[in-house]
Structure 1
Amino acid sequence: MTPGTIINKRYEVLQIVGRGGMGTVVRARRVSDGETVAVKYCHLKDAASIRRFKREIRLMRELKHAHVVPILKLSTQHDPPYFVMPFAEFSCGRRCEEFAADENSAIDAFLELCEGVQAIHAAGMVHRDIKPDNALIVDGRVVVADLGLAKFVDRDTTILTQTQAVVGTELYLAPEQRFSGGSRDADGRTDIYQLGKTLYQFLTNLEPAIMDMSKVPPGLAFAIRKATRENPNERYQTIGQLIDAVKTYQKARDPNANPANAFESLLNRIKERLERGEYREDDVGQMLATLMLPVVRQTTTEFLDMFDRVPHEVLAILPETHPEQLDELLRVYVGAIEEQVTNHSFSYAEIVAKKMRVLFGAAGTTPEVKGLCIEATLIAAVRLNRFAAMDTLNSMLTAVVDEADAMAVREALERQRTEYRGVCEQIPALNLHAAIRSLREELLSQESS
């Protein structure tokens, strides 16, 4: 069929969008109302293929589930036989690059796919050809499509299941499908194997011929390995078990339930992307949100441990990408430093000073950030009596030349008057901005009086 062909006086072919072993899918316009739909018809003429195509229709009609593609209309008497489905702009196969960049989206799509396959199993069927291209996105949800190779587990007697044929897509075939008669004996665990391969592709945007598990988060790597075991008896035995495994991983990464694990996962992802020269603003935003969870910020030791592990490359971009979150974060950080700094070794002052120098240098037109960086460095340098950290503090103070920056820095020094009084004479008065110089003079005059 070519564009312009009218199928059964009802559907005008607009474009061929896919072609399989026996079926072709076209984008079509419904003549009655102009609605865009997908029409799949059998392009083979032999009796066996037509029987197989009608069997696909029969299987799909028995399934009514939000994550299984529905049949809107059908005609098995028309030549060629066809059925009508909602038109899907994309398959998950075309979204794998996007999924690989957003783990949450990948997992959400995968779980919806699992629900569709679970419904197929509940109806007593096995799909046998699960892959990203057979998971369509219709109205924002993932639906399982192409039941052309599906079979009833206990009562199928089609030519495909009677013969020794190997059916499925090469990259996703389970080991048992590769043996003579293996496709005939496939069961739900075969679909689970193919789901494991599909999850790998969602997460990596790589074909699953050889799976490199170093590219997958460890928790999900475990689930994929188990789903794709050589021996079906060693895999998850039901879709529900696979869903539970993935959801357990999600819960472990839930910042509210397990902030340390969630932070670790985000940090590893950010570092891996930095090594590839990549940066995703939403990853960093999630990391900052995790740091600011009440359960984290109220436990200052845990907060500092997490903050100290944020790479300098990430700190350097925060003033531009997340200025408001950074301001709030640094206020918590200064409080944590005040409370905990003396519980650290003396050299910890340099760790604080280096991080604050990175932020100070990147702060640009955010005076409050500059003030907070100086405040944190001042507390650490004085309380741990580290001259290297004091040198960093002094370099920041002498770099303040803008009026707004100077006012913010003065406010920060005012909050730490005792600490600043002890070191304020290290910089000659003329090397300081007038706003800071006046505070220095005030502190010295109070002491002399």
Structure 2
Amino acid sequence: MNYRKIKEIGRGGFGRVFEVEDDFGQRFAMKEYEPNSDIQNLINRGLVKADNLMGRFKREVKYQSLLNSKHIVRILDKDLEAAKPWFVMELAEGTLQDDLQADRRLGGDPTRALFDILAGLEEIHKRDIVHRDLKPVNVLKLKNPDGSIRYAISDFGLISALAAESTTLTQTGHGGGTPVYAAPELITRFSHATSSADIYSVGAILHDIFDGRARTPYLEQTASGPCKDIIEKCTKTNPARRYQEIASLRDDIYQALAGKTLQFESDAEKDLVNLLQTNEAPSDNEWDRVYEFLSKSDITTQSKANIFSALTSTHFHNISNSSRELLNAIASEFSSFTRNTSHNFDYCDVLAGKLESIFDIGPIRLKAHCLISLLIMGVDHNRYFVENKFVRLASGNLDENVIERIKMDVAAEAINLERYIQRLERSLSINRSVLHPSLVSQASSAH
């Protein structure tokens, strides 16, 4: 494919970005390796090696090419052997930085942007990759075919920084993350930074939205408003005291921004929700009370929603340690709730995180139940994050026994698996071959 450069639209430390047009008149963005004057000066002085920097650029492309998510900018074409290596990606409408400069509060509802960032980060962290330079200018604003907007993480140039170069590059501002968003550990141990460094950057972005004042780099941050505690936890100087999972951070952000006051239908319901909100490890007797309440024949959907909103991934782990039978009972109720109820789109991501936690610890029947729920909830709500989570869990590594259980469940519940997979393919622009072959065969044969 040939590309015609139309205009330069961006410039970073290691490359220039052009708007380009292919042979069919379609517009894309092309990033071409070309160190800026500051870095070229370091090369000329022998402080860094040109070959190592070019290798770093190529690693950016290779890492990003492996990630298949609507919330990570996709590599569409590349030539890493060209004199100036390049890659082609989706053409953005702008960046999160542009939107923040126009309206710091993002129209009063920053949830979409924040949840899209978290969706991309979770996919990155699942691969044991750390971005290390998350900031608003590296979050691109993209337009979907239906005209809706999504945000996607870009610029992976700092993922695989060479340890020998990190000190020099950090001192120049090109290797250790942008100071105003970078975690403090990136100063001293860049190459050993964990996913907690990206959590710090999320906290800094939250500070942009809810406070907006200038920050002193690398320090703990705070702000007034609903996300005060979240910002403080994200930006702890000690990485071990930050959020350790994206799912927990997502849940807290949703609860902080939802702005809903729960309406209880009984004192018993109110007491149970309060118990779950304040205690991560209820006693066996308290778990029995939760189960008995959920098992009531006259329980309403709203009452279930209140209980399930207070249940966390940690709770499911604790139930598992207490009683596998109780885990099966409560988790099955939760999974059924996710697939049979209409949800706020952002809340789907929270529910999906809890479903994955159950999938990770549950027996075969629960794994199958959660996968079906992820597929149905994701497709019915057209939620890319949930759909991508299903695709990742239902890939070639899926246990054949889980697929056999899915076969039984979809037959018993008259679920049209083929129709859901067709809709999944259209939504994510993927081929079903990314799923486990036995699952694909089951869908086709049942149709």
TM-score (norm. length: structure 2)? 0.50
Pick the structure with greater CA Rg.
1
TM-score (norm. length: structure 1)? 0.50
